[in-house]
Structure 1
Amino acid sequence: MKTIADLIEDRFGLETEAGRDMPAEGDLANILGHRSHRRYKPDPVPENLLEVLLSAAFSAPAKSDLQQSGILIVRDTEKRKKIEALMPAMPWIAEAPVFMVFLADNRRIRRISEMRGTPFANDHLDSVLNAAVDAGLVLMNFIRAAESVGLGCCPISVVRNHIETVSELLELPEHVFPLCGFCLGWPAGEGHISLRLPPRVMVHTDRYDDSGLEAEVAGYDARRSARYRIPDEKQRLVDEYGLAQDYGWSEDKARQVSKPERMQLAKYLRSQGFNLE
């Protein structure tokens, strides 16, 4: 019988006895078995099921019960085509039966303050962080709920590369911004488990300590390359950095962040009425 320990080993590529006495079932198994899906069957997602998933999503924790999140379902064919055209390298956006945009919504509490005749005295950077975290928690709850009924999901952070255009298309008012796009549908395949850095890289006790990072990343690169090698044609920025003989996760990600991206975000957020001080 497969156990939680087996799922942990699948996720991190490391042996463990944690969860060896726990059957691989229920919420823990669903979370450990998470995988993104980018290929979908044409079957629609029933509206009543979508309502259930939305209800589950908004059951997520919310900072101080302020509930600063939202979801915009893109049903308008023309709007969706325009969004798809912004990201032609992601055909799964067009193929997914449902496409949504998760929103950070600081507008609602400001309106409620006006309705109650009180000032909104927190017009600073924390308003952005609180709304973004609320939206992220709702996003994760939606994913957990959708996967529990067999649906496949794929968040689309590249929406933020085109944040002004997407906001205009979706007619977002001040103090609301898109966190990510989101594809939803019935998977056309199993997908694969993405190997993660070991928890000991992310978990610290009493103080932050990354003194062993170089060795941990080297080990992770080796485990990940053994499971799925990045083909030469998928290497980034070959003209600048060359074709690497040993092109692992760390080389790929270092190249990815070597180029600036989304430099317009602060300007955009200010245009949406946020004070970033």
Structure 2
Amino acid sequence: MTTIKNIIEYRFGSTAELPSDVDDYPALQVQLGHRTHRAYTDQSVSEALINLLLAATFSAPSKSDLQQTSLIRIKDPEKRKAIAELIPTMPWIGTCPVFFVFCSDGRRIQQVCKMRGKEFANDNLDNFIAGVCDVGIVLQAFINAAESLGLGCCPISVIRDHIEIVSELLELPDRVIPIVGMCLGYPAREEIISMRLPLTVSCHTDRYDDSALESLINEYDQARDAKFSWPKEVQKYTTRFGIADFYGWSEDKA
């Protein structure tokens, strides 16, 4: 997959009309070629490169310029081990060269209000949602920047299953919430590109329309299975639902 058109065709199963100069945008090629990396080489990531990565990361947009994201880099081996032991099915948490925890930070603005002698007026659900959305934006900026530097990433959403333990381990104050972990390092191998839902499923015009959803999902399941089939041993809840003869994306997510 050497061209942007090829990557799009592989990712989505088809391609729409594209600009004639589409391959003149290398940054888009990196983003379109995104893949998750769980195996890393022993090569360390330099502090200078991490500084560059973090500067690019925090250049991301922020709702109302509130900047409600904080990253915690886990360098203490005991803390890293403790987090890894919470999620034994993901050993790359303990083996990746660099590990971060991305937090929604609702404390900072509250502290700023105290500094300026003003009441914290946005103690509401909307502000909480804005903080979590900011983490998602920063997360994507981190991944884009890392991959443009030749690094690989693996977000760890399961960290939210252990919010209380992780919060205590990282000494997080009230209003600072661990949302996602992040493994970082130089990829040990080239991983697959996961197919995404067709843009006809995800993108709408003027109104929401899922009238063709079932047929489009069935086609997507078949196309994705043709590129990568889930082994029977990774099927979920087989004691309850049995082993499916055909196990596509929709069966896995249902």
- TM-score class normalised by the smaller sequence: over 0.9
CA distance in 2, matches of 1:13, 1:204: 18
CA distance in 1, matches of 2:159, 2:3: 37
**Stretches of structure 2 lacking an aligned partner (at least 5 in a row):** none
Q: How do 1:145-164 and structure 2 match up within 5 A?
A: 145-164=145-164
Give the TM-score normalised by the residue count of structure 2: 0.97
Which residue in the other structure is 1:198 paired with? 198
Give the TM-score normalised by the residue count of structure 1: 0.89
Q: How far 1:221 sits from its partner (Å)? A: 0.1
The Cα offsets for residues 139-185 of structure 1, whole Å up to 9 and x where unpaired, read as 11111110001000000000001111111100100111011000000
CA distance in 1, matches of 2:103, 2:163: 12
Which residue in the other structure is 1:60 paired with? 60
Q: How far 1:215 sits from its partner (Å)? A: 0.7
CA distance in 2, matches of 1:39, 1:3: 25
Equivalenced residue count is: 254
Q: Do the aligned partners of 1:53 and 1:146 also contact (CA within 8 Å) in 2?
A: yes
SS at match of 1:54: helix
The letter of the residue matching 1:128 is: F
CA distance in 1, matches of 2:153, 2:195: 18
**Stretches of structure 1 lacking an aligned partner (at least 5 in a row):** 255-277
Q: Do the aligned partners of 1:5 and 1:19 also contact (CA within 8 Å) in 2?
A: no
User: How many percent of aligned residue pairs carry the same amino acid?
Assistant: 54
The letter of the residue matching 2:83 is: I
Q: How far 1:24 sits from its partner (Å)? A: 6.5
SS at match of 1:37: coil
Q: Which runs of 4+ in 1 moved over 3 A?
A: none
CA distance in 2, matches of 1:200, 1:119: 47
CA distance in 2, matches of 1:127, 1:187: 37
Which residue in the other structure is 2:166 paired with? 166
Q: Do the aligned partners of 1:8 and 1:16 also contact (CA within 8 Å) in 2?
A: no
Which residue in the other structure is 1:4 paired with? 4
The Cα offsets for residues 12-59 of structure 1, whole Å up to 9 and x where unpaired, read as 122444245421651110110000100000111000100000000000
Which residue in the other structure is 1:89 paired with? 89
Q: How do 1:1-277 and structure 2 match up within 5 A?
A: 2-19=2-19, 21-23=21-23, 25-254=25-254
CA distance in 2, matches of 1:246, 1:178: 37
